[in-house]
């Protein structure tokens, strides 16, 4: 599933972990070393000790990413950029295109809009169609404000809670963004291809390459026909009022609000509609929760991932260092199943809680902004936020382990040090 650079990085993590265990190094110290070597931010303010490799001696060049990298981005591999939450403190509801997180499996394919075609085929349609880019942008359009969030967002918290290192991107909470997406309802495209009433599954295939079990293939994802036909499931060609950037799927991608990021295929070239269930190897092995708490489902190796869970994040550096004084703490909470109804904030590691003020807009499948007042005194603090959506889904204190570190939705403790004046 990972490219060679990612694989080598994961092997180095395993090597460091083995050596740390042999020498009696604590888990905390191990995470400090990883944060230093790989440029992580979990313990970024701690001074390196003798013998460690300083973070500025290793640079990760995001060769799979086209757009310029704003300062403050966190890079986990050549194809990932994680949004820095502190940068959102002074920004509005939408994430600007240049600040939107990136997860590219391969370098964005070069597209010529005059030559690009979208093929719609399969035994679930009676009139297979091929559309040009001009035909797509000339169709009736809709705009949807929605989040896209990687299924592995928050993976590092599994690692810290269960004392087990992961291969792959060690996302904190910045593998998410909310944008206004403009495009054509997928239902309209399928209708023009003669959608059959017996259609059951829809496979979306992009032009980027992925690999699994030493086999390379064009990346794709499968959704049930009911999801594909929803009004807010669209083939996107614009993002925040601009032509879709290369890193985000130009010329066209799909968006399925509420579902894990993997479903929102970029660089779309082909849509296959089937009257039978479709089980790709990627769906069977990667789009699932695998672990003792997740019994496998028929034809799958675990529990299939669909909707995202509830999460919250503070708009602060990690860890944050503040001066004493009055602060307006800000954050955002979101749910893949609806809109946020309530956010509680603790300033003392979960001992006491207060309701945060929710700010409009508060859109389903996107997020809400919230804030609380804090008169910060010197000391070490663990700030926590706990959100509940309109369906009653609430962030738990802990989340059962799964083998790939997906869908972490537990309450997170955000470390803050408040220093006195001087």
Question: Would you say how long the chain is, in residues?
Answer: 422
Cα–Cα distance, 184 to 233 (Å, whole number): 9
Residue 56 pLDDT greater than 90, yes or no: no
Domains detected in the chain: 4-102 (no CATH), 107-304 (3.90.420.10), 311-419 (2.60.40.650)
Distance CA(143)–CA(179), nearest Å, equals 10
Q: What is the pLDDT of residue 217?
A: 83
Residue 358 has a pLDDT of 98
- Give the global pTM: 0.85
Which residues are CB-contacts of 79 (< 8 A; sequence separation ≥ 6)?
3, 6, 62, 64, 65, 102, 103, 104, 105, 106
Confidence class for position 70, pLDDT limits 50, 70, 90: confident
Measured CA to CA, the distance from residue 145 to residue 125 in angstroms comes to: 29
Of 96, 244, 99, 246, which Cα lies nearest the Cα of 184?
A: 244
pLDDT above 70 for 33: no
183 three-class SS:
strand
> In the predicted model, what is the mean pLDDT of the chain?
87
Tokens at residue 310, please?
């509830």
When pLDDT is cut at 50, 70 and 90, the band that residue 46 belongs to is very low
Across 9-18, 295-304, 341-350, least confident range: 9-18
CA angle 321, 327, 331 (to 5 degrees): 80
Average the pLDDT over each of 98-112, 185-199, 223-237, 349-363 and give the range with the smallest value.
98-112
Per-residue pLDDT, 382: 98
- Which residues 6+ apart lie within 8 Å of 285 measured at CB? 212, 301
Which residues is 121 bridged to in the sheet?
A: 272
Minimum mean pLDDT range among 160-164, 343-347, 379-383 = 160-164
Contact 267/250 with Cβ under 8 angstroms? yes
Distance CA 225, CA 195 (A): 10
Q: What are the beta bridge partners of residue 383?
A: 414
The two beta strands, 268-274 and 117-121, are parallel
Q: Over 12-45, what HEC string results?
A: HHHHHHHHHHHCCCCHHHHHHHHHHHHCCCCCCC
How far is Cα 313 from Cα 328, in angstroms, rounded to an integer? 15
Cβ atoms within 10 Å of 138's Cβ, excluding its own: 11
Q: What SS3 class is residue 311?
A: strand
The answer on pLDDT for 205 being more than 90 is: yes
Q: Which pLDDT belongs to residue 97?
A: 96
Half-sphere exposure of 65 (CA within 13 A, CB side): 23
Q: What is the Cα gyration radius of the chain?
A: 22
DSSP assignment string, 203-250: EEEEEEEEEETTEEEEEEEEEEHHHHTSTT-EEEEEETTEEPPGGGTT
Q: What is the mean pLDDT of residues 259-268?
A: 97
For residue 193, pLDDT over 90 is answered with: yes
pLDDT at 11 over 60: no
Closest of 2, 291, 259 to residue 151, by C-alpha: 259
Residues 6+ away with beta carbon under 8 Å from 299: 277, 279, 284
Provide the percentage of residues in the chain whose pLDDT is more than 90: 75
Place of tokens 């260092």: 321
**Distance of alpha carbon 9 from the chain centroid:** 20
């Amino acid at each position: 599933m990972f490219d060679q650079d990612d694989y080598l990085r994961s092997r180095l993590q395993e090597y460091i972990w083995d050596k740390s265990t042999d020498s009696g190094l604590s888990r905390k110290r191990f995470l400090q070393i990883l944060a230093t070597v790989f440029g992580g931010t979990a313990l970024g303010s701690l001074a390196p000790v003798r013998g460690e490799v300083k973070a500025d001696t290793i640079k990760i060049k995001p060769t799979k990413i086209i757009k310029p990298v704003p300062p403050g981005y966190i890079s986990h591999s050549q194809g990932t950029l994680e949004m820095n939450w502190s940068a959102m403190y002074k920004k509005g509801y939408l994430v600007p295109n240049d600040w939107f997180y990136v997860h590219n499996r391969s370098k964005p394919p070069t597209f010529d809009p005059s030559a690009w075609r979208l093929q719609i085929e399969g035994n679930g349609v009676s009139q297979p169609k091929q559309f040009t880019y001009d035909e797509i942008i000339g169709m009736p359009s809709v705009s949807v404000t929605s989040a896209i969030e990687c299924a592995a967002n928050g993976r590092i918290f599994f690692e810290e809670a269960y004392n087990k290192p992961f291969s792959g991107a060690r996302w904190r909470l910045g593998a998410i963004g909310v944008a206004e997406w403009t495009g054509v309802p997928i239902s309209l495209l399928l209708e023009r291809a003669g959608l059959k009433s017996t259609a059951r599954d829809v496979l979306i295939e992009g032009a980027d390459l992925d690999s699994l079990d030493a086999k390379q293939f064009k990346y794709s994802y499968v959704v049930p026909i009911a999801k594909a036909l929803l009004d807010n499931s669209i083939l996107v060609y614009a993002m925040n009022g601009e032509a879709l950037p290369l890193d985000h799927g130009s010329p066209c991608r799909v968006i399925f609000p509420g579902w894990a990021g993997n479903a929102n295929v970029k660089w779309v070239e082909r849509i296959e509609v089937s009257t039978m269930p479709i089980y790709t190897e990627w769906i069977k092995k990667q789009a699932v929760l695998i672990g003792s708490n997740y019994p496998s489902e028929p034809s799958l190796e675990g529990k299939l991932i669909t909707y995202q869970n509830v999460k919250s994040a503070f708009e602060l550096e990690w860890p944050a260092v503040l001066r004493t004084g009055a602060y307006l703490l800000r954050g955002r909470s979101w749910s893949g199943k609806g809109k946020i109804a309530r956010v509680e904030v603790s300033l003392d590691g979960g001992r006491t809680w207060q309701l945060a003020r929710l700010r409009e807009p508060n859109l389903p499948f996107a997020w809400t902004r919230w804030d609380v007042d804090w008169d910060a005194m010197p000391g070490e603090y663990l700030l926590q936020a706990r959100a509940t959506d309109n369906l009653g889904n609430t962030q738990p204190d802990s989340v059962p382990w799964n083998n790939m570190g997906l869908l972490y939705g537990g309450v997170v403790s955000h470390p803050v040090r408040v220093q006195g004046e001087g």
